[in-house]
Structure 1
Amino acid sequence: MKHLYVTDMDGTLLGRDSRVSSRSAEIISRLSKSGVPVTVATARTPATVEMLLEDTYINIPAIVMTGAAMWDRVSQRYMDVMYPEADAAWRVMCCCREHGVNPFVYVLRDNTMLEVYHNGRMNSREWKFYEERCGLTRKRFIFDDPHAYEEPLAGTVLIFAVGEGRAIESVAAVLMADGRLSVSSYRDIFNPDVAYLEVFAAGVSKAAAIGKLARQIGADTVTVYGDNLNDLSMFAVADDAVAVDNAMPGVMEKADRRIGANYEDAVALDMAMCARAEGFRV
């Protein structure tokens, strides 16, 4: 039997400093080199995944962008990318424009580089979002391109927006009725007047990507680790759903078991314990 281990990053594998500790990096690298299939499933793009896993070796692709794609760290290329239909993506842009929302449009080029388009004056939240990402490799921002909002751009993977809560939620309410799209909207935990919107192709989720990856590598059993409500789809398809001690109450309720907190290297230590029980010498 092959046992696949998948962990969320923020709040789960990453510690309080939003980094992978040297101890966790060493344990996961050792597991991977011993043949244990270990990977991450995250909403992040490879631009930050590569930076955070710089000292961590994993032997199978990473699940990125909430499952819209996988990232092969060896070839440095995107794999199994899910694109929304062109007319569905165009509907998103029209709906955003009708509600005064200027989204970031993520376009994949040559399976290696993300181009992120934005038109119009940025609000403070959009500017902060840009500033935190503008220096990253594998991601390039392009502003005020006259074609970006006029027609669906080939290679669009994600349409993301941040702004006034009511406007964002109005857009989400309209788009959620479109069966060609996967739509999520949520309020900022620090400022409830601000909301976020993420739009992918229909069927995009961490859970779907985990199922696809498990089939690709021939895994019979899957253990997942998470902390937040967006990890519950993973829990639903896992044989072993594990919540870290700092997880939200709703995640705790759905977990099969509970381990230590993210800042205690709990995920890596639990993976090692399970691998040893299966006979791996790690």
Structure 2
Amino acid sequence: MNRTLYVTDMDGTLLDDTSRVSPESAEIITDLTRRGALITVATARTPATVSPLLAHTVTSLPAIVMTGATLWDRNSMRYIDTRFISPETSRLIRAAADRHGVNPFIYTFDDKGMLTVYHNGERSIHDDKFINERMKLPLKRFHIDEPAGMNQSIPNTVLFFAMGPCERINALADDIRRSIDCSVSNYVDIFGKDVGIIEIFAPEVSKANAVKRLARDINADRVVVFGDNLNDLPMMRIADLSVAVDNALPEVKNAASTVIGPNTSHSVARFIAEDFERMQ
């Protein structure tokens, strides 16, 4: 029997226009998983939001979270195979962010493995909205304008994340790519076209590399991925079959092997169901 690994992005792909997994999608994926389908997600999100979003969706594989910097075992509720940014690289990134007037969120793990997020300095309305929507989530702790957040090389740093004007974010991304050995992703926020987002990880962190490691670990002989945004392109390039939803960016649709319906029509779950049946 063919062992196909199905990996789907969340926002704009698996999630509908209310940023939820629809009941129909949850039911389809749960049923397929119980029949042996190998399905997971690959997302920039952290488990703090992934876990509640997938609360009614059964999957057997760890979720690829934080753009592949770590995996999240939903059953044991622990992080697996985390890639940390070195202290020296952290110092260089913070210096570059200061030069471009960007105040990033710094994601770290505390001694108990809790995801801990620091932010110091000026905040935009987007930053405040981001914090307020996540402040009470049980799997994430925010520390705002605390002295510990001024440490230039906070231990166990996994991610630098920032939002801001596209020109400022893009300039920071270009600067870092030229001078610092790390993984950088910058793109336009799907919820605000004038807002740029940057994510900075340890070298070689990507959804693509995490998908390849997971496929190897479970002995998958075929990989099918689903996406909608530019940060999905690397994993789409390494897949045997790459699928774009109809609402995807033009660059993503052009790069995909096939284009399906929009994220508002349970399209990912329905495609997986059809493909799973065909491969049996």
TM-score range, shorter chain: over 0.9
Q: What's the counterpart of residue 175 of structure 1?
A: 176
TM-score, structure 1 length as denominator?
0.93
Which residue identity lines up with residue 101 of structure 1 in the other structure? Answer: V
Q: Distance in 1 between matches of 2:201 and 2:105?
A: 13
- 1:16-27 to 2 correspondence within 5 Å? 16-27=17-28
Decide whether aligned partners of structure 1 residues 55 and 144 sit closer, same or farther in structure 2, where only a CA change above 3 A counts: same
Asked if the contact 2:187/2:230 (under 8 Å) is kept, the reply is no
Q: What's the counterpart of residue 231 of structure 1?
A: 232
Q: What's the counterpart of residue 13 of structure 2?
A: 12
Asked if the contact 1:112/1:138 (under 8 Å) is kept, the reply is no
Asked if the contact 1:15/1:263 (under 8 Å) is kept, the reply is yes
- State yes or no: 1:216 paired with 2:217: yes
Which residue identity lines up with residue 176 of structure 2 in the other structure? Answer: L
Which residue identity lines up with residue 243 of structure 1 in the other structure? Answer: A
Q: State the 1:228 CA deviation.
A: 1.6
- Backbone CA RMSD of aligned residues: 1.7
Q: Distance in 2 between matches of 1:29 and 1:110?
A: 34
Q: Distance in 1 between matches of 2:278 and 2:169?
A: 48
Asked if the contact 1:235/1:241 (under 8 Å) is kept, the reply is yes
Which consecutive residues of structure 2, in runs of 5 or more, have no partner in the other structure?
Answer: none
Q: Distance in 1 between matches of 2:141 and 2:113?
A: 11
Deviation per residue, 1:243-280 (Å, 9 max, x gap): 1122222111111112222111111111111111222x
- State yes or no: 1:161 paired with 2:162: yes
Q: Distance in 2 between matches of 1:192 and 1:268?
A: 27
Decide whether aligned partners of structure 1 residues 245 and 192 sit closer, same or farther in structure 2, where only a CA change above 3 A counts: closer
Which consecutive residues of structure 1, in runs of 5 or more, have no partner in the other structure?
Answer: none
Q: What's the counterpart of residue 51 of structure 1?
A: 52
Q: What's the counterpart of residue 33 of structure 2?
A: 32
Q: State the 1:168 CA deviation.
A: 3.0
Q: What's the counterpart of residue 78 of structure 2?
A: 77
Q: Calculate percent identity across the aligned residue pairs.
A: 48
SS at match of 2:164: strand
SS at match of 1:147: helix
Q: Distance in 2 between matches of 1:188 and 1:37?
A: 29
Moved more, 90-99 or 48-57: 90-99
SS at match of 2:17: coil
Decide whether aligned partners of structure 1 residues 162 and 214 sit closer, same or farther in structure 2, where only a CA change above 3 A counts: same
